[in-house]
């Protein structure tokens, strides 16, 4: 379920997320993995997680808004993420989920979900 937090919740969300952050290509099941949005990039850009993992995007920019947009049959786009905002999506089905930033389509990421 998409979730958006305002700045007052950012510190709590970031603290929780940092405890669950995985290195690029990390695998985790039933946990939260953080993708930071900074310098017009998703960091890490490519991520492999186990089914049941929630990915949390955190906008760490100082002035720019971004979105997380998935195209295709399971397509959806987050609301605009202002600096400090977060967005979450749980991935239950093994597949490759490519995504971009709606306002900045040159920003690309990939979530690969495995069993």
pLDDT tens sequence across 23-32 = 444 444 569 9
pLDDT band at 19; cut points 50, 70, 90: very low
* Closest listed residue to residue 41, CA positions, set 64, 18, 25, 11: 64
Q: What is the pLDDT of residue 69?
A: 98
- Please state, rounded to an integer, the average pLDDT across all residues of the chain: 83
pLDDT band at 73; cut points 50, 70, 90: confident
Q: For the chain, what is the domain count?
A: 1
CATH number at residue 96: 2.60.40.420
Q: From CA 44, how far away is CA 41, in angstroms rounded?
A: 8
Q: 39-43 long-range CB contacts below 8 Å, 24 or more apart?
A: 40/64, 40/101, 40/104, 40/106, 40/107, 41/107, 42/99, 42/101, 42/107, 42/108, 42/109
pLDDT band at 104; cut points 50, 70, 90: very high
Percent pLDDT > 70 in the chain is: 74
Instruction: State the residue range of the domain holding 32.
Output: 4-114
Q: From CA 114, how far away is CA 66, in angstroms rounded?
A: 27
Q: What is the pLDDT of residue 90?
A: 97
């Amino acid at each position: 379920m998409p979730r958006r937090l305002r700045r007052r919740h950012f510190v709590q969300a970031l603290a929780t997320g940092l405890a669950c952050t995985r290195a690029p290509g990390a695998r985790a099941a039933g946990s939260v993995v953080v993708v930071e949005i900074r310098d017009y990039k998703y960091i890490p850009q490519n991520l492999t997680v186990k089914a049941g993992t929630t990915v949390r995007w955190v906008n760490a920019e100082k002035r720019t808004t971004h979105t997380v947009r998935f195209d295709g049959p399971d397509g959806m786009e987050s609301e605009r993420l202002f600096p400090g905002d977060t967005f979450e999506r749980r991935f239950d089905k093994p597949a490759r989920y490519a995504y971009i930033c709606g306002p900045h389509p040159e920003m690309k990421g990939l979530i690969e979900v495995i069993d």
